[in-house]
């Protein structure tokens, strides 16, 4: 790998990590707003 390919690989891995980290919060917000195709029961 050259420098450009290494830079792209690290940038891509950071992007994937951030998306994985944000997913649960984003998904729960969608469920609370009723924006999902499935129906979930939230127990509080």
- 16-39 pLDDT, tens digit each: 888 888 899 998 998 889 887 765
Q: What band does 40 get if pLDDT is binned at 50, 70 and 90?
A: low
Q: Which residues contact 32 (CB under 8 A, 6 or more apart)?
A: 42
Residue 13 confidence (pLDDT): 80
Tokens 């792209």 found at = 8
Tokens matching residue 31: 């469920």
CA-CA distance, 15 to 20, in Å (whole number)?
9
What is the CA 25 to chain-centroid distance, rounded? 9
43 pLDDT above the threshold of 70: no
Tokens linked to 43: 């127990």
* Stronger pLDDT, 42 or 20, i.e. the higher one: 20
Q: Quick one: pLDDT at residue 23?
A: 92
């Amino acid at each position: 790998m050259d420098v450009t390919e290494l830079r792209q690989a690290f940038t891509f891995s950071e992007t994937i990590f951030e998306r994985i980290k944000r997913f649960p919060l984003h998904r729960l917000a969608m469920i609370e707003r009723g924006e999902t195709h499935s129906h979930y029961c939230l127990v509080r």
